[in-house]
Amino acid sequence: MIVKPGFMIVCHQFNEIQFMEEEMHGITDKPIILWLIAATAVSTISALKTGIHKHKSLDTWFLVTEQSTYVIGATAEGYIANLHWGNRLEKLDDLNATMTDTFFVQNPPPTYVTEELPVFGGLRFRDNVLMVEFPDGVRELNLLYSGKANITDNYLLDLDLRDGNRTDVLVTLHYEIDIENDIIRRSYTIRNGMDKRINVSKAFSAAWHLPTTLGSDEKREIMTLAGEWGSEAMVQSTELRPGVTHVIQSQRGFPSHVSYPYFAIRQVPSDVNPSTEVYFGALAWSGSWEITAHTSLFGTTRVVGGMHHQDFGWSLDPNESFTTPVFAAGFTNKGMPGARKLLPRHVRKYQKKNLATQKDDSVYHPVLYNSWEAMTFDISVDKQLELAEMAAPLGIELFVVDDGWFGARDNDSAGLGDWYVNKKKFPHGMKPLADRVHELGMKFGIWYEPEGVNPNSDLYREHPDWVFYYDARNQLVLNLALPEVQEYLFNSMSSFITDNDVDYIKWDMNRPWGEVSMHNYDRNPREAWTLSVRGFYNIIDKLKEAHPKLWIESCASGGGRMDIGILEKTDQVWTSDNTRPDARIMIQYGASLFLPPRAQYSWVTDSPWDANTNIPLSFRFHVSFMGGLGIGSKINEFTKEQTEEATAWVSLYKQIRPVIQNGDLDWLVQPSRLSELVAVSQTTSRDQSEAVVLGYRHNSPFSTPLNWVRLRNLDKSATYTIKVWGSDPHEAEEEYESTGALLMHRGIMLNSLNSAMFKSVVVWLQRK
Ligand code: DGJ
């Protein structure tokens, strides 16, 4: 046996030594010493470590995260099947992939195999993920393990599959594990090894297999997010039933408000099964998408998803390849609170990895001011200057000029696409305003809708061939698949950013796509759906590269583009145009399933949405405290008292935002449309040293006191000081101490949430 550098010894049975590719610094060039270590290891190392490991003799791979294990293996025939996904295994068990016996003749084995990449073709009759059309009219694939697998750095696995019928289509399955967050990221690359062009007509990203439920009366529920403009991310739950396929999707060119590319499937606890197992996942794709979940009579569920297959097409010339977006999914045995912790943490981790602006946890998302709700298109340098002068003393850190600053843009029927300053409104350009905002100590932000163009615009008059022609909201959508369109947008935005010292962009997108095609294109015109999203990503990547300090917010008429893919490229999302606080709680509840708290913005406004309801300023602030804070009110019409109150709330927010923005957001009382409208959230720092509880009671028609609310995730042996603010930001209305154990086992009384309408409370806990 040769001891190789970089290998570490892991023993899973007393007399079996296995060498795993794991880093072992310092002793890599000393084989003799290693042998001594091996002798010790034999008796001590038996556990299956986190990372990716291949079984010593079988074609079986173990993807081991902190709390879960995902096992895949090749059958003798070459099918790559999922063998386990769930609680963490202890050893490199001898899990061998075998074909399921034929259950009855109508369902041959490939139908039942838990294939990682079930393609269209062969005797597979369940949901598939990949379909290819060959020049001779054949559309069948049969992808089988080629014998080549590659593990990199203990967290990446590539498995090569070849077409067992034609042997000249190659697919590489990609797996990446996020060990600490129990998440697996999957995608694949398909390569054309033939000498003729082929067409890919469906390219979902992955198939996930949930094991069978335990008994015949066990139930699983699927949780998804539905919505519309102004009512984004509404949580839905429904039971999974055998023989039923649930489909969630967007065919609009962007992820949309109507449904979100997210699912969670949880075991419903019963008298005999206390399980709190949850499988959850999300697509990292900002275009049209689809996720389906089919449940069999045996209680297994197959989830497939990726770019929407409707009107999808991609040409592959000889040797060309295509890589799908990532479909990330995870497992937890800690119920929905566990799922709600892991996915936002995962998204945050990839934000930190990919974005210079997000690397540092101690750089907080700024408190912003944006006059859109207060003024809509009625903006000018004088009015914006007046607001900026008022915003700075409130504690605002970022001043954003929204729609209306460019071209002939007085309403939404003209000017979109003409990205030069409207001289009537800003006679000396944008720089004087940007300079003054900077002098006042704030950052300067500006709104763009780069994909949009009004027919009444210079851009459209010059380049009528740059659009997908389908009129809605008086506007068309630019075809970002065209390199010249990408170039125009990048150049005009980049020079504007440089010339005006822009720190932040709100990237909006306000209409679904239609007539999506490529004209006079010698490849498949359906590529436009995918190319446009890639073009959009390309402009963002280039802007981020050219301006490493630039922050970008993703917005699409509110929260229409807040998939986890865009969150790996931008800093934050605008969750909804609906700023009515009681609606917002419901929206934030749903969005918290996947958004890191810091990425979710919420504004305090005068809110036209609740014109006939008297919602106190304190309630508005407390709702907006849940993530990044913004103000969108007519601050120039604030009374002296309102200005003082707002200033004090902003100041309190800045004190608690390290917890709010970097902590884990959990819900102690979930908001519901049906109950008496109580909701309580708790955001806890990862080291449990601090927590912020936000409590809301919109209404209590029965005047019953609120029950004790038990906190979570605290250090039970520590003592915490607790400060409670109700409607007065200047003074805490309660201050006391309690142990973590008492706070978690008995709970706290939120006395301020009495029977009056729209009462709310901020509780700040700090470990002594
Ligand atoms: C839709 C956005 O969601 C709003 O916040 C605002 O920016 C408008 N567009 C401007 O047209």
pLDDT, average across residues 362-386: 96
For 30-59, the pLDDT digits (tens) are 222 233 333 333 333 347 999 999 999 999
Q: Do residues 600 and 626 touch, judged by C-beta distance below 8 A?
A: yes
Q: How far, in Å, CA of 667 to CA of 684, rounded?
A: 11
**C-alpha 372 to ligand 1 mean position (Å):** 7
Q: Tell me, what's the pLDDT at 31?
A: 29
Judge whether residue 609 has pLDDT over 90: no
Q: Which atom of ligand 1 is nearest to the CA of 556?
A: 3
Q: Do residues 74 and 97 touch, judged by C-beta distance below 8 A?
A: yes
Is 384 in the same domain as 338? no
For 123-134, the pLDDT digits (tens) are 888 899 999 999
Q: How far, in Å, CA of 190 to CA of 94, rounded?
A: 30
Q: What SS3 state is found at 192?
A: strand
Q: Do residues 483 and 466 touch, judged by C-beta distance below 8 A?
A: no
pLDDT, average across residues 737-757: 93
Select which of 178, 182, 563, 577 is catalytic.
577
Determine whether the shortest distance from the Cβ of 558 to ligand 1 is under 6 A. Answer: yes
Residue 745 in domain: no
Residues in the chain: 768
For 390-439, the pLDDT digits (tens) are 999 999 999 999 999 999 999 989 999 999 999 999 999 999 999 999 99
**C-alpha 417 to ligand 1 mean position (Å):** 15
Is 68 in the same domain as 101? yes
**C-alpha 557 to ligand 1 mean position (Å):** 6
**C-alpha 473 to ligand 1 mean position (Å):** 12
Judge whether residue 526 has pLDDT over 70: yes
Whether residue 577 lies in the annotated active site = yes
Is 282 in the same domain as 382? no
- Look-up: residue for tokens 């101690």? 362
pLDDT, average across residues 138-146: 93
Residue 692 in domain: no
pLDDT, average across residues 609-624: 90
Residue 410 in domain: yes
Q: Tell me, what's the pLDDT at 61?
A: 97
Determine whether the shortest distance from the Cβ of 510 to ligand 1 is under 6 A. Answer: yes
Q: Is 346 exposed, middle or buried (0-12, 13-18, 19+ CB in 10 A)?
A: buried
Q: Which amino acid is at 467?
A: V
Residue 742 in domain: no
Residue 754 in domain: no
Judge whether residue 367 has pLDDT over 50: yes
Last residue of a domain, one of 647, 662, 677: 662
For 219-252, the pLDDT digits (tens) are 899 999 999 999 999 999 999 999 999 999 999 9
Last residue of a domain, one of 326, 350, 374: 350
Q: Tell me, what's the pLDDT at 102?
A: 58
Judge whether residue 274 has pLDDT over 90: no
Is 241 in the same domain as 121? yes
Name 536's Cβ contacts closer than 8 Å, sequence gap at least 6: 286, 450, 451, 480
Q: What SS3 state is found at 231?
A: coil
Determine whether the shortest distance from the Cβ of 574 to ligand 1 is under 6 A. Answer: yes
29 among annotated binding-site residues: no
Is 56 in the same domain as 118? yes
Determine whether the shortest distance from the Cβ of 555 to ligand 1 is under 6 A. Answer: yes
Judge whether residue 304 has pLDDT over 80: yes
Is 264 in the same domain as 339? yes
Q: Do residues 158 and 135 touch, judged by C-beta distance below 8 A?
A: no
Q: Do residues 564 and 658 touch, judged by C-beta distance below 8 A?
A: no
More confident residue, 609 or 345: 345
pLDDT, average across residues 98-125: 80
pTM equals 0.92
728 among annotated binding-site residues: no
Whether residue 508 lies in the annotated active site = yes
Q: Which atom of ligand 1 is nearest to the CA of 412?
A: 11
Determine whether the shortest distance from the Cβ of 553 to ligand 1 is under 6 A. Answer: no
Q: Which atom of ligand 1 is nearest to the CA of 376?
A: 10
Is 343 in the same domain as 372? no
Nearest CA to ligand 1 atom 2: 557
**C-alpha 635 to ligand 1 mean position (Å):** 19
Is 537 in the same domain as 614? yes
Looking at 212-363, which runs of residues are DSSP E strands? 219-226, 234-239, 245-250, 262-268, 278-284, 289-295, 301-307, 314-316, 321-323, 326-332
Judge whether residue 700 has pLDDT over 90: no
Is 299 in the same domain as 408? no
Ligand 1 mutation pick, 231, 400, 402, max ligand atoms within 8 A of CB:
402
Judge whether residue 109 has pLDDT over 90: no
Residue 37 in domain: yes
Q: How far, in Å, CA of 733 to CA of 100, rounded?
A: 65
Q: What SS3 state is found at 495?
A: helix
Q: Tell me, what's the pLDDT at 334?
A: 96
Residue 328 in domain: yes
Is 339 in the same domain as 382? no
Q: How far, in Å, CA of 415 to CA of 461, rounded?
A: 11
pLDDT, average across residues 469-481: 81
Q: How many domains does the chain have?
A: 2
Over 337-377, what HEC string results?
HHHHHHHHHHHHHHHHHHCHHHCCCCCCCCCEEECHHHHCC
Domain that holds residue 528: 366-662
Is 530 in the same domain as 588? yes
Residue 766 in domain: no
Determine whether the shortest distance from the Cβ of 560 to ligand 1 is under 6 A. Answer: no
Element (H, E) at 393: helix 381-394
Judge whether residue 677 has pLDDT over 90: no
In 45-155, where does DSSP find H-type helix?
Answer: 109-112
Select which of 182, 412, 508, 571 is catalytic.
508
Is 394 in the same domain as 311? no
Q: Tell me, what's the pLDDT at 104?
A: 66
CATH code where residue 243 lies: 2.70.98.60
